[in-house]
C-alpha cells in the first residue's frame, strides 16, 4: 500500500501502473491465458491519484462488492482489476476532475481451489494438492502414495481446462513408473485433474 502510494505520485509511473493493474504469478490462476477475476474474500487496493482520502484497501464482501468513500458500494466480484478501476473512475467523475484509479489484488483467497491439482482413481490416497511451479504428473502421483494394485496405469488421463473447454491427455503412467519413459510425464497447470482407472480384470 505504501509502495503504491509513493509510485503514483509520479504521473508517468501512475500511467505505467494503470496499464499493468495487477501482477500475479500465472501459476495461481486456473487458466494462465485468462485475466484474473476478483473473487469473494480477496483483498483489493484501490488508489485514487492525488486523493489519498479516497484510497482504501478492502476485502471483497460475500455479495461481491466493496465500499469506498464518496461513491459507496462498488461491484468487484467477477470482474478484472481493470474493469473495477474503470467503473470507479466513471463514478468519481461526478465528484472530481479526471480521476485516475489503480486497482490491485493484494491478497488472493478466492483462487485457492482453482489453483489446486487433483489425483483420483486407483491411487493409494486420492488427493488434492496446491499447485507448485514445475510439478509434473509423476510428482503428484507419488504424493498420492503411488498407484494401487488394481490400477491400469497406462490408461491414465489428464483433464485440463483450456479456453473454456476440457481437453483430455493420455498419460502412460505405467511406462513412467516402471520403465522410466517420461514422454507423457507432463508439467501440470493449476486446476488439472489426473484420473487413474482400475483394471477391468
Residues 115-150: tens digit of each pLDDT: 789 999 999 999 999 888 899 999 999 999 999 999
Name the DSSP class of 192: -
103 and 6 within one domain: yes
82 and 22 within one domain: yes
Q: How confident is the model at residue 34 (pLDDT cuts 50, 70, 90)?
A: low
The percent of residues in the chain predicted with pLDDT above 70, rounded, is: 83
90 and 162 within one domain: no
103 and 125 within one domain: no
Q: How confident is the model at residue 200 (pLDDT cuts 50, 70, 90)?
A: confident
99 and 12 within one domain: yes
Q: Residue 147's domain spans which residues?
A: 116-196
11 and 101 within one domain: yes
201 lies in a domain?
Answer: no
Residue 12: pLDDT above 80? Answer: no
Boundary-marking domain end, from 72, 90, 107: 107
Res 116: pLDDT: 86
pLDDT, one tens digit per residue, over 146-192 is 999 999 999 999 999 888 789 999 999 999 999 999 999 999 998 89
93 lies in a domain?
Answer: yes
59 and 16 within one domain: yes
The whole-chain average pLDDT of the chain stands at 84
- Evaluate whether 142 touches 153 at the Cβ level (below 8 Å): no
Cα 194 to the center of its chain, rounded Å: 19
Residue 8: pLDDT above 50? Answer: no
Rounded Cα distance between 198 and 158, Å, is 15
Rounded Cα distance between 103 and 166, Å, is 31
CA distances from residue 118 to 90, 169, 184 in whole angstroms, order as listed: 42, 15, 17
Nearest to 56 by CA among 38, 74, 36: 74
Q: How confident is the model at residue 110 (pLDDT cuts 50, 70, 90)?
A: confident
Residue keyed to cell 480521476: 99
Res 107: pLDDT: 87
Average pLDDT over residues 10-35: 45
- Evaluate whether 7 touches 14 at the Cβ level (below 8 Å): yes
67 and 160 within one domain: no
Average pLDDT over residues 25-36: 52
Cα 28 to the center of its chain, rounded Å: 4
126 and 91 within one domain: no
Cα 128 to the center of its chain, rounded Å: 16
103 and 122 within one domain: no
Rounded Cα distance between 201 and 199, Å, is 5
Nearest to 123 by CA among 197, 184, 186, 191: 197
Amino acid at each position: 500500500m505504501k509502495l503504491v502510494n509513493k509510485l503514483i505520485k509520479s504521473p508517468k509511473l501512475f500511467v505505467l501502473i494503470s496499464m499493468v493493474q495487477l501482477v500475479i504469478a500465472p501459476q495461481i490462476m486456473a487458466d494462465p491465458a485468462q485475466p484474473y477475476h476478483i473473487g469473494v474474500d480477496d483483498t483489493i487496493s484501490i488508489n485514487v491519484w492525488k486523493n489519498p482520502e479516497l484510497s482504501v484497501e478492502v476485502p471483497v464482501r460475500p455479495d461481491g462488492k466493496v465500499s469506498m468513500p464518496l461513491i459507496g458500494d462498488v461491484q468487484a466480484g467477477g470482474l478484472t482489476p481493470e474493469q473495477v478501476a474503470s467503473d470507479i473512475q466513471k463514478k468519481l467523475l461526478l465528484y472530481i476532475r479526471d480521476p485516475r484509479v489503480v486497482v490491485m489484488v493484494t491478497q488472493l483467497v478466492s483462487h485457492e481451489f482453482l489453483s489446486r491439482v487433483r489425483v483420483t482413481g486407483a491411487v493409494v490416497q486420492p488427493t488434492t494438492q496446491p499447485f507448485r511451479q514445475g510439478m509434473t504428473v509423476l510428482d503428484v502421483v507419488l504424493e498420492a502414495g503411488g498407484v494401487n494394485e488394481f490400477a491400469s496405469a497406462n490408461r491414465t488421463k489428464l483433464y485440463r481446462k483450456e479456453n473454456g473447454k476440457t481437453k483430455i491427455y493420455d498419460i502412460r503412467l505405467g511406462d513412467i513408473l516402471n520403465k522410466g519413459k517420461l514422454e507423457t510425464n507432463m508439467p501440470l497447470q493449476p486446476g488439472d485433474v489426473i484420473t487413474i482407472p482400475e483394471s477391468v480384470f
